[in-house]
């Protein structure tokens, strides 16, 4: 199973999703993350995301931001998007129905359609980063439970 986590800049939310998901899945799973913009390409995650993850004993400091590519749609089985704008952008890059089918909203597995987006913490403070961490942690649990049910 190959999973790609996607947000806008690939420096705040999706690096956390990548780091958290890696702690929950068996080692043969492949987890990566990307952004829809290339503005931060090559940069390490935002210091606040690195610190928040470190507070939970997760090291995301070596990750590097990269934009999503056409090849990702073939390489990954599932592409999870942090919010609706990101998902619309990702879907617009898909070439066919098979690729579109791989794309979903990250929090969809929680079945809470009123709060289905992971808010962008970029302009916020450390409390918002911690809240986002907790939300992503719940989302990762829900996704892993869903995948276990589908694939057993
Ligand atoms: P992310 O957060 O999508 O969770 O990585 C953001 C990162 C950068 C910007 C916005 C959101 N930006 O405007 O540069």
Per-residue H/E/C for the chain: CEEEEEECCCCCHHHHHHHHHHCCCCCCCEEEEEECCCCCCCCCCCHHHHHHHHHCCCCCCCCCCCECCHHHHHHCCEEEECCHHHHHHHHHHCCCHHHHHCEEEHHHHHCCHHHCCCCCCCCCCHHHHHHHHHHHHHHHHHHHHHHHHHHC
Whether 7 sits among the annotated catalytic residues: the reply is yes
What is the structure's pLDDT at 151? 65
Cβ–ligand 1 contact at 122 (below 6 Å): yes
Domains and CATH numbers, the chain: 2-150 (3.40.50.2300)
Cβ–ligand 1 contact at 9 (below 6 Å): yes
Total number of residues shown for the chain: 152
The predicted model scores a pTM of 0.97
The pLDDT > 90 percentage for the chain reads 91
Work out the pLDDT band at 71, boundaries 50, 70, 90: very high
Whether 140 sits among the annotated catalytic residues: the reply is no
What is the structure's pLDDT at 121? 97
Whether 81 sits among the annotated catalytic residues: the reply is no
- Give the pLDDT confidence of 40-62 residue by residue, as tens digits: 999 999 999 999 999 999 999 99
What is the structure's pLDDT at 29? 96
- Give the pLDDT confidence of 112-149 residue by residue, as tens digits: 777 799 999 999 999 999 999 999 999 999 999 999 88
CA 77 – CA 68 distance, rounded (Å): 14
CA 121 – CA 52 distance, rounded (Å): 12
């Amino acid at each position: 199973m190959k999973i790609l986590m996607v947000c806008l800049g690939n420096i705040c939310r999706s690096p956390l999703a990548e780091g958290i998901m890696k702690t929950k899945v068996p080692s043969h799973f492949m987890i990566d993350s990307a952004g829809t913009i290339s503005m931060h390409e090559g940069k390490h995650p935002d210091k606040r995301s690195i610190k928040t993850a470190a507070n939970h004993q997760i090291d995301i400091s070596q990750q590097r931001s990269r934009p999503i590519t056409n090849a990702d749609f073939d390489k990954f089985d599932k592409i999870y998007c942090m919010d609706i704008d990101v998902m619309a952008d990702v879907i617009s890059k898909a070439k066919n129905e098979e690729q579109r089918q791989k794309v979903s909203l990250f929090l969809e597995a929680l079945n809470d359609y009123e709060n289905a987006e992971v808010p962008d913490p970029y302009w916020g403070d450390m409390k918002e980063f911690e809240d986002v961490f907790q939300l992503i942690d719940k989302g990762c649990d829900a996704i892993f439970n869903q995948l276990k049910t589908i694939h057993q």
